[in-house]
Amino acid sequence: MNPQLHLAQHRNDTIVALATAQGQGAIAVLRVSGKDAFALVNDIFRGRKSLETAASHRLMFGYIVDQNETVVDEVVLGLFRNPQSFTGEDVIEISCHGSPYIIQRIMSLLLAKGARAAEAGEFTQRAFLNGKLDLAQAEAVADLIAADSAQAHRIALNQMRGGFSETIQQLRQAFIDLASLVELELDFSEEDVEFADRSRLESQTQMLLQEVQALADSFKVGNVLKNGVPVAIAGKPNAGKSTLLNALLREDKAIVSDVPGTTRDYIEDEIVLQGTRFRFIDTAGLRATDDTVEKLGIARTYQKIQEARLVVYLFDATQTTAESLRLELAENLPQDLQAPLLLVGNKIDQADETHCRSLTQQIQGEVLLISAVTRQNLAHLEQTLVNSIGLHQLQEGQTIVTNARHYQNLLDTAQALQRVLEGITFQMPTELLASDLRTAIYYLGNITGEITHEDLLSNIFSKFCIGK
Per-residue pLDDT in tens (0 to 9) along the chain, 468 residues: 443 344 455 678 999 999 998 889 999 999 999 999 999 999 999 998 899 889 999 999 999 999 999 999 999 999 999 999 999 999 999 999 999 999 999 999 999 999 999 999 999 999 999 999 999 999 999 899 888 888 888 888 888 888 899 999 999 999 888 888 777 766 555 555 555 577 888 899 999 999 999 999 999 888 887 888 899 998 888 888 889 988 998 887 654 555 454 444 568 888 888 888 898 988 766 666 666 665 676 677 778 888 888 999 999 999 889 899 999 888 888 888 888 999 999 999 998 888 888 888 888 778 999 999 999 999 999 999 988 876 655 666 678 899 999 999 999 999 999 999 999 888 888 888 889 999 999 999 999 988 777 777 888 888 888 888
Q: How far apart are the first and last CA of the chain?
A: 12
- Give the number of other Cβ atoms within 10 Å of residue 361's Cβ: 9
- β-pairing, 45-47 vs 58-65, is antiparallel
Q: Edge-to-edge, what's the strand order for the sheet holding 15-18?
A: 45-47, 58-65, 71-80, 91-98, 25-33, 15-18, 116-117
Q: Is the peptide bond before 83 cis (omega within 30 degrees of 0)?
A: yes
Q: What gap in Å lies between CA 12 and CA 5, rounded to an integer?
A: 14
What integer pLDDT is reported at residue 208 of this predicted model? 94
Q: What gap in Å lies between CA 152 and CA 229, rounded to an integer?
A: 12
Q: Using an 8 Å Cβ cutoff, are 401 and 407 in contact?
A: yes
Q: Using an 8 Å Cβ cutoff, are 115 and 96 in contact?
A: no
Q: What gap in Å lies between CA 446 and CA 79, rounded to an integer?
A: 34
What integer pLDDT is reported at residue 258 of this predicted model? 55
Q: Three-class SS string for the chain?
A: CCCCCCCCCCCCCCEEEECCCCCCEEEEEEEEECCCHHHHHHHHEEECCCCCCCCCCEEEEEEEECCCCCEEEEEEEEEECCCCCCCCCCEEEEEEEECHHHHHHHHHHHHHCCCEECCECHHHHHHHHCCCCCHHHHHHHHHHHHCCCHHHHHHHHHHHCCHHHHHHHHHHHHHHHHHHHHHHHHHCHHHCCCCCCHHHHHHHHHHHHHHHHHHHHCHHHHHHHHHCEEEEEEECCCCCHHHHHHHHHCCCCCCCCCCCCCCCCCEEEEEEECCEEEEEEECCCCCCCCCHHHHHHHHHHHHHHHHCCEEEEEEECCCCCHHHHHHHHHHHCCCCCCCCEEEEEECCCCCCHHHHHHHHHHCCCCEEECECCCCECHHHHHHHHHHHCCHHHCCCCCCCCCCHHHHHHHHHHHHHHHHHHHHHHCCCCHHHHHHHHHHHHHHHHHHHCCCCCHHHHHHHHCCCCECC
What integer pLDDT is reported at residue 3 of this predicted model? 38
What integer pLDDT is reported at residue 194 of this predicted model? 52
Mind listing the domains of the chain with CATH numbers? 15-131 (3.30.1360.120), 140-218+401-449 (1.20.120.430), 224-393 (3.40.50.300)
- The residues that bridge with 27 in the sheet, in sequence order, are 97
Single pTM value for the model:
0.78
- Residues contacting residue 180 through CB under 8 Å, at least 6 positions apart: none
CA angle 38, 43, 45 (to 5 degrees): 85
273 vs 68, 378, 412, 451, CA distance in Å? 56, 12, 34, 39
What integer pLDDT is reported at residue 106 of this predicted model? 97
Q: Is 10 left (phi over 0), alpha (psi -120 to 50) or beta?
A: left
- Residues contacting residue 176 through CB under 8 Å, at least 6 positions apart: 441
Q: Using an 8 Å Cβ cutoff, are 449 and 134 in contact?
A: yes
- Residues contacting residue 358 through CB under 8 Å, at least 6 positions apart: none
- Residues contacting residue 140 through CB under 8 Å, at least 6 positions apart: 156, 157, 159, 160, 164
What integer pLDDT is reported at residue 359 of this predicted model? 86
Q: Using an 8 Å Cβ cutoff, are 444 and 172 in contact?
A: yes
